[in-house]
Each structure stands twice: as C-alpha cells, then as structure tokens.
Amino acid sequence: MCQLCACAGVGVGVRGSTFAAHLTDGLAPAPTVALRTSWGATERVTRIGPVIARYSRPEMTRVWSDEAKLASWLAVELAVVDAWAQIGAISAETASAIRARAVVPSPERVAEIERKTNHDVAAFVDAVAGDLGDDGRWFHYGLTSSDVLDTALALTVQDGGGIVLDGIDRALRAVMDRAEEHRDTLTIGRTHGVHAEPTTFGLKLAGWAFQLDRDRRRVGAAVEGLRVGKMSGAVGTYAAAPPEIERLACEALGLEPAPSSTQILQRDRHAELLSALALLASSLERFALEVRHLARTEVREVEEPFAEGQKGSSAMPHKRNPIVAERICGLARVVRGHAQVGHENVALWHERDISHSSAERVVLPDAFLAVDYMLDRFARLVEGLVVRPERMRENLEATGGLFFSQRLLLALVDSGLDRDSAYRAVQRHAMRAWDEGLDFRELVRGDAELAARVDLDAVFDLGAFTEHVDVVLARLRSIQPQEESVRA
C-alpha cells in the first residue's frame, strides 16, 4: 500500500510471487516486479503499486499511482506556465504551445532519466521539457521541486479524501439503516464485559452512527486544510516567482495559496490529516471489536455474512470466524502508526530538510489505501450483518433479572429508605442470585419487607429501559449522509 523509496527518487515496490494469491475480490492487480540494484536505481519500473494488494481497492490505487502523480505534477507546472502568460512574462502563444505539446511522461521514462539525475522532479522536468523545443526553457520556470511536489500532493489528497468521505457516507447510511431496523431489539448492555442493563441494538448502532458523523467532519476538515498550494520558492520568499504567480496557479488548480510557507508546506497540515484518518480507523476498530465479541460462540448475538462456498477454516469445517472485523482491527493499528509518523514529520530543520519525504511516500498512500479498504469492508459487514434477536433475549435473561437492581434501588430510595440501606438490601439478594443461579425477581418478591415498600411490577418493567430510545433515534435522523460524491 505504499510508494517505497528511501530517497527522493521514484518509489518502486518490491514484490514476490507469493502475493499473487491475494489478488481476488476485485482488488487491484499486482504491479510488475521491480528490483533495486543500486542506490536510487531500478532495473524495471511500472506504476507504483501497494505493498499489499490484498488491502487496496482499484480507485484509490489509481489515485496514488505513478501515472496519477506525474499527471498532477504536470497540471501544476502548466498552471504556472499559464500564470506567467497571464502576467505578461511570456506570450499567450508560448503558453498555449507548451500546453499543447506537454504530455505526461511514463514512469519508465522518468525513472530512466532519474538514474542519471538522481532526482525525481528534475528527471520529470527533463522528460517533459525535452519535447517542448525552445519553449521548454519556460517549463518549471521560477519553481523549486517542492513547489510542484507539495502542490501536487494537495491535489492528490483532494482526490483521495473525496473517496474516503464517500466511503464514510456509505458506512454511515448502512449503520443508520440498521439502527432504525433494530430500534426496539432488546439486548443486554455490558460494562467491563459484564451484564449491566438492557438497551436496544438500534441504540448501540446509533452511537456508531454519531461517531462516524464526527469522523466525517474531522476528515473533511483535514482534507480541506490541505486544499492549499505554494509556489513561493526555495525558502518561501517569492524571490524567483512573485506571489501573483502562486495566486493565479492555485486558483486554476482549485486550491488556496498557503498564507505562509518555507520551501515546503508546513507538515502540521499533513499530521492533522493522518490523525483524522487514524481516528476514523480507531472508530472502525471500535465497531469491529464489538462485532467480534457479539459473534463469540458463548454470545452469538450477531454473525458476519457467510457466503455460500466460503470456508471459515482450512482444518475445521464448522468455523464461521469474524475475519472481516478482525482484519479491520489489525489495519487500524497500521493507520495509527502512520499518524505517529505524521507527527514526527512536523519538526524539520530550518526552512526544510528531506526527512519527511521518504516517510510520507510510505504513510500517506498507506493510510488512504487502508482506510478506504476498511470503510468498504465495514459497510459490507454492517449491510449483511446477521442479527439474532432471539439469542439477545436469551442472553438478556441469563442472569435471572439482575439488571433490575438499579430500578429496585431507586424505588426503595423513593419509598423513604436511605440509600446505603437500600443498596445493601438489594445487593444481598443480587449476590445470592448471582452465586446460586437463582432468579433475582423471585428472591425480591419473597422478601416481605421490600415487597411492602415498592410496586414490584413497576420495578420489573422491561419497557422502562427503552422508554427514551426514540429521543436518540430522532437525533440520529438529523444526520444527513451525502448521496452524491463530495469530491470537487
């Protein structure tokens, strides 16, 4: 899922044939094998592919491909050429001629030139300018490499961010639909993994939906925070190109000029983005972890979809494991690790060093690819989740009504008994029911003193636990997932 490169050169993944078995379920094809033969050089190059194609989907893979990267570099360069023409530094005819003749070079061509230059942007510039004749002198005029790299990366983030936001909306719609479906499906709530009080499965899912909505806003804000470009030159002083060039070029690209930059855009923006993706991954892990618990044999309140012909184990034919949920939990750890790298990249030497570059070539594509995959699998999981209300009711009753303990406590307090005396009276029966496997309600009904103080039929009313579920579900309806793509 990454562009592997420890230098400024074109990243190339090193892949082995053992990964071929992973290329199923509509996943992105493996790239051609490319082996590093010396510092910064490769024998063969193809478009950048993910380290693990198993966890990469085609659309996001294309966004982070070599071809897309080089196309975005060219878009930035041509926007700057047009800007020079707009301020009269070069003729409109020259700008038009450059735009007409400039083509996106192949990754192979750029890598070939880079073997000599040992610099990927310089190789790209040579590859394009070489076909422009005398007009090629205006290509990359007044720019430094990071003017192109950071501005183009902002374009890539907009594309990748749009896909992620679309994925959040799909997952959100799935969760909201299932929440409405199970608004009245009683289940036991658990704290510390121990039965607490009844809730509904719909209410549980509503909490997931609100969290996904917060993730959507966080990711959206972080993507918007990187809707910026810079053409301020080697140390941010506009010494080689005036601010008007930056303004015009960014406007043409749909970006805002960064209010201040050094040789690069400050990396707090990228750290914020990776942090938002990590929080999203953590949310998905939280939901997946709940599915894993509820799918345990002893619980068995939900099950992942299990397709005809699917095998849960190579050795045990009976197995139906929560593998999708487990996969989501595992990938969340990867994305959180990438967020840490983003934070490490914030502090750089003076106006810029290159230590962030190699790390970003790994973590940015990785994080986007992983989160995109996680969202897709999570949405499928929720859409096809097998819910077993009858099993939920069995588990609810497993403790003989112990979950009524708080209602009895409050009823006794309302009757005039002091809280500690009420607590001890209820606890006495609760611990006996717990230790001896007796029905808590029957024990309480057999206590003449308690029965005389409160209306036990009202105390042991299951409906009291779900009386206000509609309040939360009504709030849920205020969330509006986007029906159309939010991408610019």
Task: Please tell me the predicted confidence (pLDDT) of residue 319.
Answer: 84
Is residue 17 assigned to a domain?
Answer: yes
What does the pLDDT read at residue 352? Answer: 87
Domain carrying residue 27: 1-141
- From 141, 165, 184, the end of a domain falls on 141
Domain's final residue, options 123, 141, 159 = 141
Per-residue pLDDT at 36 exceeds 70: no
Query: Is 312 within a domain?
Result: no
- Residue 196 in domain: yes
The C-alpha atoms of residue 146 and residue 356 are separated, in whole angstroms, by 12
Which residues touch 42 (CB under 8 Å, ≥6 apart)? 10, 12, 34, 35, 36, 111
Identify the domain boundary among 89, 112, 141. 141
69-123 pLDDT, tens digit per residue, is 999 999 999 999 999 999 999 999 999 999 999 999 999 999 999 999 999 999 9
Q: Please return the burial class of 239, using the count of CB atoms within 10 Å of its CB with bins 0-12, 13-18 and 19+.
A: exposed
DSSP letter at 212? H
User: Same structural domain for residues 156 and 265?
Assistant: yes
Going along 43-93, which residue ranges are E strands? none
Q: What is the model's pLDDT at position 281?
A: 98
360 shares a domain with 257: yes
In a domain, 72, yes or no: yes
Residue 2 predicted with pLDDT over 70: no
Domain match, 395 and 251 both: yes
- What was the pLDDT predicted at 355? 81
Would you say residue 455 lies in a domain? yes
Q: Mark whether 395 and 429 lie in a shared domain.
A: no
In angstroms, rounded to a whole number, what is the distance separating the alpha carbons of residues 24 and 180? 34
Are residues 78 and 28 both part of a single domain? yes
Q: Where are the alpha helices (DSSP H) in 182-310?
A: 201-225, 243-253, 268-294
Claim to verify: residue 97 and residue 203 sit in the same structural domain: no
37 with 127, same domain: the answer is yes
Q: Say yes or no to pLDDT of 166 above 60.
A: yes
What pLDDT is attached to residue 359?
A: 85
- What's the CATH number where 332 sits? 1.20.200.10
- Where does the pLDDT of residue 309 fall: very low under 50, low under 70, confident under 90, or very high at 90 and above? confident
Q: What percentage of the chain exceeds 70 in pLDDT?
A: 88
Q: What is the CATH number of the domain that holds 437?
A: 1.10.40.30
> Same domain, yes or no, for 473 and 360?
yes
**pLDDT at residue 26 greater than cutoff 70:** no
**Within this chain, do residues 179 and 106 fall inside the same structural domain, yes or no?**
no
The pTM assigned to this predicted structure is 0.87
* 200 lies in the same domain as 63: no
Same domain, 130 and 260: no
Asked whether residue 311 is domain-assigned, the answer is no
Q: What is the pLDDT of residue 483?
A: 61
Q: How confident is the model at residue 9 (pLDDT cuts 50, 70, 90)?
A: very low
pLDDT for the residue 433:
96
What would the pLDDT profile of 167-214 be if each residue is shown by its tens digit? 999 999 999 999 999 999 999 999 999 999 999 999 999 999 999 999
Same domain, residue pair 453 and 472: no
The pLDDT of residue 28: 42
Looking at the annotation, which residues are catalytic?
192, 313
Q: What is the pLDDT of residue 354?
A: 85
> What CATH number corresponds to the domain at position 82?
1.10.275.10
173: Cβ–Cβ under 8 A, 6 or more apart, which residues?
481
Q: Which tokens in the block code for residue 398? A: 């497993």
Concatenated DSSP letters for 228-257?
Answer: EE----SSSS-SSS-HHHHHHHHHHHT-EE
Q: Is the pLDDT confidence value at 42 over 60?
A: no
> What is the average pLDDT score of the chain?
88
**Selected residue with higher pLDDT from 299 and 22:** 299
Q: Report the number of distinct structural domains present in the chain.
A: 3
Instruction: Tell me what pLDDT residue 315 has.
Output: 85
Residue 314 lies in a domain: no
Q: What is the pLDDT of residues 381-423, one digit of tens each?
A: 999 999 999 999 999 999 999 999 999 999 999 999 999 999 9
Angstrom distance (rounded) from CA 191 to CA 183:
20
Local structure of residue 57 (DSSP, 8 states): -
Q: Is residue 313 in some structural domain?
A: no
- Of residues 213, 214, 329, 226, the one with CA closest to residue 273: 226
pLDDT at position 128, please? 97
Confidence of residue 24 (pLDDT cuts 50, 70, 90): very low
- Cβ-based neighbours of 369, under 8 Å, separated by 6 or more: 1, 2, 50, 55, 56, 57, 60, 61, 64
